[in-house]
A = this chain, B = another copy of it.
Amino acid sequence: MDIERRLAVLDLNARYAEAIDEDRLEEWPDFFAADGRYRITTAENFEQGLPLSIVYATSRAMLRDRVKALREANIYEAQRYRHLLGPARIEHGADGTLHARTSFMVARIMHTGETTLFATGSYRDRIALDGDAACFAERVVILDSRQIDTLLAIPL
């Protein structure tokens, strides 16, 4: 795979995490295609092929609604996230998209300053490239833990 495509994927990953960690949630839906899919599930469900999801959205518009709800609920203000991503494994998919897998850890920093390792898991992505621009045709967030925090407010 040419290096430009690799860099486009790494850049997409880094900008995605940065937008969330800097609380620019309104930009978050723009990392997805108009009919992009976003799903959060657990490794247990994923490995058993179960369709259960904690979050499931099938369009950019649904993601916008979600951000709006978060802002109105106003929960997110009391906390910050810090995403740390490992190296991405990138392959050509049969459908013309790039397929990427990336491990992550997310720390949650409460307003008091208390920092905890909040979530670990991996992203399974299908990435559409259009010239220099890259976006997610699909991002599946697979959480290692099945103990889901009820405060899963901010996107992962």
Taking beta carbons and an 8 Å cutoff, which residues of A are in contact with B?
A: 3, 6-7, 10-11, 13-15, 17-18, 21, 43, 80, 82-89, 101, 103-105, 107, 109, 112-117, 119-122, 144-148
Contacts and interface: CB of A to CB of B under 8 A. Distances in A.
A61 to B, nearest CB: 28
Given A87-B14, A107-B120, A115 B145 contact: yes
A115 B13 CA distance: 24
Q: Which 3 A-B pairs have the closest CB atoms?
A: A113-B147, A82-B120, A113-B145
Nearest to A13: B87
B113 A116 contact: no
B107 A147 contact: no
Contacts of A145: 109, 113-115
Nearest to A1: B7
Given A21-B103, A82-B103, A83-B103, A14 B89 contact: yes
